[in-house]
């Protein structure tokens, strides 16, 4: 379903049903998260999934090595790609909603950096080009597939 379809025709704000769905947006194990976890496993990266005590509740962490990864849905976190475009209806509502999510993301990231964590943001759309994403992981983990042979 497109985000626009969630809002309903001509509504000035989302119905209670939609609001409820929006509150539960932070679901576990979304497809992009699972895909990222599979890629990390394949690279031999050890990690934990979502401890609760870190700012922003990162999706994937390694506390000992002090890094964490957020897998961001492009729409909800306001990415600049086509998936992050706002619906034509209720633009003001969506703009405020997404801006508040972005504010939270920025605060969480800087809190984590202050605590000495390295932070990687993976956007949903980056999974469209897994080779490129692998190279990003390579840089982040200083892992070079070329060195394996």
Annotate each residue in 106-125 with x if it binds Zn ion (CB under 5 A) or - if it does not, as one string.
-----------------x-x
Ramachandran angles phi, psi of 36, nearest 5°: -65, -45
Q: What is the C-alpha to C-alpha distance for residues 62 and 45, in angstroms, rounded to an integer?
A: 9
Binding test (CB under 5 A) with Zn ion, winner from 69, 77, 79, 90: 79
Residue with tokens 């949903």: 124
Binding to Zn ion, residues 49-68 (CB under 5 A) = none
Q: How many residues bind Zn ion (CB under 5 A)?
A: 6
Q: What is the C-alpha to C-alpha distance for residues 37 and 30, in angstroms, rounded to an integer?
A: 11
Whichever of 123 and 137 has its CB closer to Zn ion, that residue is 123
Binding site for Zn ion (CB under 5 A): 74, 79, 81, 83, 123, 125
């Amino acid at each position: 379903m497109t985000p626009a379809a969630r809002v309903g025709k001509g509504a000035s704000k989302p119905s209670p049903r939609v609001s409820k769905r929006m509150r539960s947006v932070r679901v576990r194990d979304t497809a992009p998260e699972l895909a990222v976890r599979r890629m990390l496993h394949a690279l031999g990266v050890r990690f934990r999934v979502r401890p609760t005590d870190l700012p922003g509740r990162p999706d994937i962490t390694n506390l000992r090595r002090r890094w964490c990864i957020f897998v961001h849905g492009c729409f909800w976190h306001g990415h600049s790609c086509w998936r992050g475009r706002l619906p034509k209806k209720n633009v003001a509502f969506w703009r405020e909603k997404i801006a508040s999510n972005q504010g939270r993301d920025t605060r969480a990231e800087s809190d984590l950096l202050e605590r000495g964590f390295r932070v990687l943001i993976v956007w949903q759309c980056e999974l469209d080009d897994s080779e490129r994403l692998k190279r990003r992981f390579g840089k982040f983990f200083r892992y070079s597939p070329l060195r394996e042979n």
